[in-house]
Structure 1
Amino acid sequence: MKKPRQIVALGGGMFSMEADNGLLDKYILNLALKEKPKICFFGTASNDGAEYREMFYKFFNEQNCEPSHLSFLDPPDNIEEFIMEKDIIHVGGGNTTMIMETWKKFGVDKMMKKAWESGIILTGMSAGAICWFDDGITNPSPGVLTRLPCLGILKGSFCPHYDDRAELKSAYEKLILEGTIKEGFGVEDGAAVHFVGNDPVKVIASRTGVTAYKVRKVRNKISETPLQAVYLGKESDKNAVSKVSGNTDVLKTAITFFEKINEHDVEGLCELMTEDHKFVDSMGTIVFGKDEMKKAWQGFFDWFPDYHVTSLNTLLTDDTVGFFGTAKGTFNSDDFTEENKFEVPASWRAKVKDNLIAEWQAIADNESVRKILDEHGRKAMIKANVHFENND
């Protein structure tokens, strides 16, 4: 299963500013969906200073993870290999220009893009957040602020400490008004923007009353649009965060089942089902039993030979795993027209019992799929002799 491409850009916070809080730090660890994720600290922006690094280890040595760091004063023999084996990269604050110059010198700018594409979670605070965007701000001489080209993984620009440093906020808005830098995000201390791909899917906060703003130029004036933040300290909101509980076997079973779908491995899917397996889809179709599901999956893959599902986020609670993403496919016919293709937002719920899938539910806006099946697929289902119920 292809991992989602994620970046968490912080205005300020985590272990270096809120050592006794930990909400943002733990949110990031939980995104890895591993029992013991590998998190690596880059102190490039502070010239690999020992004090900053020690704060990182002081916090993360107490968490269920494997902390490490990369110093360019004493780099590993194979930097790319070192980076690509991590689950999370966190870049500390300091001097963004130092980040860009050092990373380009060692080729790490390209490595970070490769890491992001592979699903390694990239995070950073202040300068460590700015570096992921198109545009940063630099002051080459006293009183002069201008554009600093950054990695460009995320579109636009980023301004940290949006509530705490008035001079930085003012300069950021001025450069947007002048057209020197692109519009972007102003993020307050204690807040962060969580991106999946290039989409800001959530603003999270370790404190109440802080958030992020979409900052843009509208009719020669600066427009600030506040984005609703989820305060991680609320118990009700914690449940909305992708997390790993003690039962990692449940998660592994569900992920393996998800991967078997993309492999079109019908035998593998059946091996992961209970004998009384139940399938429910958005069109009201219910199928019971492993034998019936074997015919149903084979028939579906015959209809849509390029069927593929993508998970952008995952939620684990007790014996149930939820996947949230997209599904797409093309109906297998002589007429490969756009009408025979679909790509829809989708989610799936897996109920796991004794490391087997007891129930699989697919939830999606399936109107386009329904139309294709109404035209082509119902005859195929009858031919496949699949016994199903319908709740319509």
Structure 2
Amino acid sequence: MPAEQPTILATSGGYRAGLRTNLEFGALVREAVELSGATRPKLCHIGTAAGDQRWFNADVSEAGRLVGWEVSHLNLFTMPPTTDIAAFLLEHDVVWVGGGSVANLLAVWEVHGLGDALRQAWQAGVVLGGVSAGSICWHVGGTTDSFGPELRVVTNGLGLLPYGNGVHHDSEALRRPAIHAAVAAGELPLTYCTDDGAGLLYRGTDMVEAVSERRSGGAYVVRRDNSSGTAQEDSLDIRRL
């Protein structure tokens, strides 16, 4: 059962430590599944940003078993599991992209044509989501520590969403000023940002709601004031899951 319209949930969260397992799905991943409308959910996890670590895949699979979801993994190292990645993605209700290096993720995806495949899935109603690198990737770009501790701007995101994206806005001190500087300089367009535990729900290309799996933390929009050449940040209303 596909979502009624193209849907993306871009977040700074989604996982939590399990009681008896290393990992459980948090409220943000559950929200992505609910948005899909699936009664017997099939979730595809993509761990490119962290190098397709098999031990982490196992943790994600175990988290899926706990909630009764079918979980599969699109590993690109050392090779994709199929010659038709778009068809593989279309077999799922949700695609969830893990965190890590967004620069490396985008480079590897480009080699394998994943951008076109993910666009097809999105347009067909497969809910796309993810955390950190798995949030920035859907946008025009954002700030990243992919190259080192001094944040840099990437602008070669998939561009399904015509905005910039900032993640971990509250937990990493360099994130907010880096986003403000990039927006003020025109490196990034209007940019939506999330604190840890928060997510941005997009229907088509419209940001329609901010949500959070935590009691604190928020979401924000940063836009350039053309008269002053500075960045202006405003808080968004947020629904607690």
Verify same fold: TM over 0.5: yes
Contact 1:42 / 1:70 at 8 angstroms: preserved in 2? Answer: yes
Q: Aligned partner of 1:10: which letter?
A: T
Contact 2:5 / 2:204 at 8 angstroms: preserved in 1? Answer: yes
1:20 CA drift (Å): 5.8
By percentage of residues, which structure has more strand? 1
SS state at 2:116 partner: helix
Q: Percent identical across equivalent pairs?
A: 28
Counterpart of 2:205 in structure 1 is 198
Q: Distance in 2 between matches of 1:146 and 1:2?
A: 32
Alignment of 1:118 with 2:120, yes or no, is no
**Match of residue 92, structure 2, among 86, 89, 97:** 86
**Match of residue 51, structure 1, among 41, 46, 55:** 55
Alignment of 1:30 with 2:30, yes or no, is no
1:115 CA drift (Å): 0.9
Counterpart of 1:14 in structure 2 is 14
SS state at 1:162 partner: coil
Alignment of 1:229 with 2:238, yes or no, is yes
Contact 1:15 / 1:56 at 8 angstroms: preserved in 2? Answer: no
**TM-score normalized with structure 1 length:** 0.56
Q: Aligned partner of 2:82: which letter?
A: D
Unpaired runs of 5+ in structure 1? 233-392
Q: Distance in 1 between matches of 2:24 and 2:117?
A: 33
132-141 vs 209-218, which deviates more?
Answer: 132-141
Alignment map for 1:153-164 (pairs within 5 Å): 153-164=160-171
Counterpart of 1:177 in structure 2 is 184
Alignment of 1:76 with 2:85, yes or no, is no
149-158 vs 164-173, which deviates more?
Answer: 164-173
1:140 CA drift (Å): 5.0
**TM-score normalized with structure 2 length:** 0.88
Q: Aligned partner of 1:80: which letter?
A: A
Q: Say what the alpha-carbon RMSD is for the aligned residues.
A: 2.1
Counterpart of 1:317 in structure 2 is none
Q: Aligned partner of 2:239: which letter?
A: V
Q: Which structure exhibits the higher relative contact order, with contacts defined as CA atoms closer than 8 Å and separated by 6 or more residues?
A: 2
Contact 2:137 / 2:158 at 8 angstroms: preserved in 1? Answer: yes
Alignment of 1:95 with 2:101, yes or no, is yes
Q: Aligned partner of 2:156: which letter?
A: P
Q: Distance in 2 between matches of 1:184 and 1:56?
A: 30
Contact 1:16 / 1:56 at 8 angstroms: preserved in 2? Answer: no
1:143 CA drift (Å): 4.1
Contact 2:3 / 2:36 at 8 angstroms: preserved in 1? Answer: no
Alignment of 1:65 with 2:60, yes or no, is no
SS state at 2:122 partner: helix
Q: Distance in 2 between matches of 1:144 and 1:190?
A: 21
By percentage of residues, which structure has more helix? 1
Q: Distance in 2 between matches of 1:24 and 1:109?
A: 23
Unpaired runs of 5+ in structure 2? none
SS state at 1:3 partner: coil
Judged with a 3 Å threshold, the aligned counterparts in structure 2 of structure 1 residues 174 and 2 are, in CA distance, closer, same or farther, namely closer
**Match of residue 210, structure 1, among 210, 217, 226:** 217
Q: How many residues align?
A: 231
Q: Distance in 1 between matches of 2:15 and 2:41?
A: 17
